[in-house]
Amino acid sequence: MSTEIKIKIAIGADHAGFEYKELLKSHLEAYELKDFGTYSADSVDYPDFAHPVASAVEEKEYTFGILVCGSANGVAITANKHQHIRAAICWLNELAALARQHNNANILCIPARYVSVELAKEMVTTFLNTAFEGGRHEGRVGKISC
């Protein structure tokens, strides 16, 4: 009997992140994935997609979340309103690693207007394959929630 844990990913984007979201979905074919929208490049409000992704991760229906918008600020601010979410804006691969290692981030926020598609894919891979280091970081992360 296998004890392998299947990583489940919730993904969402606004209109500025729609194209990247679609490209990332094909990069994530090995994972169980749920797309929370948007489903076109038509103008939308980012909280309408960030909240459902954050809720799905917070309720442990999904292991991680990925949110994409133009700057990543809007989706990160929205997701971080959820008590047990640690959404990290990353624009370098090293930041994606540190977000997991030191902050136990559970949602990766990608600024589509400021990173290449290839870098976005690299950050996703790093984020999903990097473990939380715990140790001295455990206490710090424990102080985040209000």
Active site residues: 69, 102
Distances (CA, A) of 27 to 1, 80, 140: 28, 25, 32
Sorted by sequence, the CB contacts under 8 Å of residue 2 that are 6+ apart come out as: none
Cβ(109)–Cβ(72) below 8 Å: yes
Cβ(87)–Cβ(107) below 8 Å: yes
- Residue given tokens 């601010």 in the structure block: 77
